[in-house]
Amino acid sequence: MSSPPSSTAAREHDEQVASRSAYEAVIERLSKASVDKHWEPYRDIPWDDPEFHVDPADPRWELPEVDKLGGHPWYRSRSPEVRAAIGLWRVATAMKIGLQFENLLKRGLLNYAYRLPNGAPEFRYVYHETIEEGHHGMMFQEFVNRTGLAIRGMPRPLSVMAQVAPWIPLISTELFFVFVLGGEDPIDHVQRKVLKDGRVHHPLEETIMRIHIAEEARHISFARHYLRNRVPRMPAYRRLMLGLAAPVILGVMARIMLAPPGPMIRHFRIPPSVVAEVYLRNPAAKQEIRDSVGKTRELCAELGLINAVTRRIWRAMGIWAEPRS
């Protein structure tokens, strides 16, 4: 026998209260962690230590295994100085794009926080995250400055189009936090792989990556818990729209974060055939893009955003993989 309607409604209400309490407890823990363990770029990074000096010819800048160009015969045939210079350009470009993305993210977070009501626990955490992202931007730009390279970051047309991102929270906060994960997860994926590759890394690059990974773990956690809290309560039509938009955003963002920078290709005269072989037709490079959004893809499946229709978009964007059994 089914429960009386009043009993069912009461149970659902209790479940919602418990879910909200658990969500708020997560936010409180994240806010406390931001106070207890955080870094400041001009206090915690010894920029002027001789060991941290950026020498473009330092062999520790050579491309890591995660970048498939590093194993290509064309790259291996270059002189050690050129291989190091290409790797440094790659790292500096990734940091420049990272600070540009985080600039968009900070503005979006503040637009989101602007409309939060008094007493909302998200307000405090969002300001903690905004401050941390500000610190990341400073350390990324300081690194780029010390390379002496003319790093532009995002291509200009893409940079212009990206200016809509901070306004997404005014339309859909859920879509905005998918965008957040679309930028943060691929970078986190690559940096974790680089630190585990067994190579000796330049201490400045390694210090920046470790700081970034530690603090981004909180930012990624907040975005994931926010979506888990909000998406199940969205009207069906809005969930459908989010499910259609998510793979497009994630596919585009993964490629922005992982694609080889055009100025680097032109500066070092990397042959188009090599670029195509390494990045466009290489199954391992395509797998890297799929893997970089793997955790967000699993979250979307968990939230019911993947169905027969939206799965086709995931495949079209080249980021679909069957769920792990």
Secondary structure (DSSP) of 63-125: PPTTSGGGGSHHHHTS-HHHHHHHHHHHHHHHHHHHHHHHHHHHHHHHHHHHTPPTT-HHHHH
Distances (CA, A) of 251 to 210, 293, 308, 315: 26, 8, 18, 10
Give tens-digit pLDDT for 38-96: 999 999 999 999 999 999 999 999 998 888 899 999 999 999 999 999 999 999 999 99
What fold, for 56-316?
A: Ribonucleotide Reductase, subunit A (1.10.620)
Give tens-digit pLDDT for 20-30: 889 999 999 99
**Residue burial 186-221, b: 16+ Cβ < 10 Å; e: rest:** bbbbbbeebbeeeeebbebbebbbebbeebbebbbe
Instruction: Give residue limits of the domains in the chain.
Output: 56-316
Give tens-digit pLDDT for 268-280: 999 999 999 999 8
DSSP-derived secondary structure letter, 278: I
- The candidate with the shortest Cα–Cα distance to 233, out of 181, 308, 304, 313, is 304
Give the CB-side neighbour count of residue 194, counting CA atoms within 13 A: 26
Using DSSP's 3-state secondary structure scheme, residue 64 falls into coil
- The four Cα atoms 253, 106, 26, 17 give a dihedral, to 10 degrees, of -90
Helix axes of 173-195 and 80-114: crossing angle, nearest 10 degrees: 150
More confident residue, 4 or 181: 181
pTM (predicted TM-score): 0.91
pLDDT on residue 3: 52
Quick one: tokens of 243? 């499910």
Confidence of residue 11 (pLDDT cuts 50, 70, 90): low
pLDDT on residue 16: 65
Confidence of residue 157 (pLDDT cuts 50, 70, 90): confident
More confident residue, 2 or 218: 218
The C-alpha atoms of residue 307 and residue 303 are separated, in whole angstroms, by 11
With tokens 């989101």, the residue in question is 112
> CA Rg, the chain, in Å?
21
Burial label for 120, CB within 10 Å (0-12, 13-18, 19+), is middle
pLDDT on residue 13: 53
Tally of CB atoms within 10 A around 71 = 12
- The four Cα atoms 37, 135, 30, 116 give a dihedral, to 10 degrees, of 150
Q: Are 256 and 289 in contact (CB under 8 A)?
A: no
Give tens-digit pLDDT for 113-149: 999 999 999 999 999 999 999 999 999 999 999 999 9
Confidence of residue 155 (pLDDT cuts 50, 70, 90): confident
pLDDT on residue 179: 96
The C-alpha atoms of residue 122 and residue 224 are separated, in whole angstroms, by 13
Q: Are 34 and 219 in contact (CB under 8 A)?
A: no
Q: Is the pLDDT of residue 2 over 70?
A: no
Distances (CA, A) of 44 to 37, 49, 144, 282: 12, 12, 18, 39
